[in-house]
Amino acid sequence: MQGPPLPPGKLEGPQAPAEENKPPAEQTLEEQHLTIEPESDAEHAECTAALKALGVVFKDAPRIDDGNGCGIDKPIIVSEALPGISLKPEATIRCPAALALARWMKESVIPAASAALPEQGRLTTVNQASAYICRLRNSAETGKISEHARGNAIDIASFHFEKGEDVAIRSRREDPTLTGAFQRTVSAAGCLYFTTVLDPESDAAHETHFHLDVIERKGAYRYCH
C-alpha cells in the first residue's frame, strides 16, 4: 500500500548535504573534505639527496596536518636556497618545490643576474613572501585549495645583492632597463622548473611577487603567465 503523497519539492530517500550540491568554486575549504597526499619515502630520499648535492641548506620537519587537507606529509625547512644565498624568511615547503627553486636559481637566476646586473655583485638573499600556509587560492573564501596549503608553492618578492638596491618584483613589462630584462628573463625561465609561474603581469593578486609551484597536472601541462 502506498503512503500519502510527498509534499511538493520533497524527494524520497536520504538527502545529500547542501555543500555536495555546490560547484567546487563555491565550496569552502571545510566543505571540500580534502586529505593530505602521502609522499613516498624513496622519492623523498632521492629528492633530499639532490638538494644536498646542490648545497641547499635545509632540515627535516615533523609532518604537518592543519586539517581540511592543509599540510605536508614530509616537510622540510629551507634556510639557504643555494650555498651562500639565504632564503628569508626560511621556508617550509615540500622537497620538490625546494629542488625546483634551487635549480632555477643556479641555472637561470644567477646567470641572468651576472649578465644583466654585474655591478650589483653577488646575489646573497632571496626574499620570499609566502611558503606553506593553509588557505584557498588567492586567500578566497571559496574555490580550489592553494598549492601553498600543500607545500608545493613559494612566492618570491625580491632579490638582494651585495651592492645596490634590492630588485623587487613588480610590473616590468615595459621596463627598458637591464633590471627589467633580468626580471622578464627569470620569469620566463621559471617555467622550465616549475609547473606554474605567475608574475606581476598575470593579475592583481600577483603584482608584487612571482608565484611558483610544482602542482602535477595531466599531460605534464604547465601554466606560465
- Residues 184-196: tens digit of each pLDDT: 999 999 999 999 9
| Percent of the chain residues past pLDDT 70, beyond the cut | 90
- Chain center to CA of 170: 18
Q: What is the pLDDT of residue 73?
A: 98
Q: What is the pLDDT of residue 133?
A: 95
Q: What is the pLDDT of residue 138?
A: 76
User: For residues 141 and 27, what is the distance between their CA atoms, to the nearest angstrom?
Assistant: 8
75 with 132: CB under 8 angstroms? Answer: yes
200 with 206: CB under 8 angstroms? Answer: yes
- Convert the pLDDT of each residue in 115-172 to its tens digit: 999 999 999 999 999 999 999 887 777 778 899 999 999 999 999 999 978 999 999 9
The model carries a pTM of 0.87
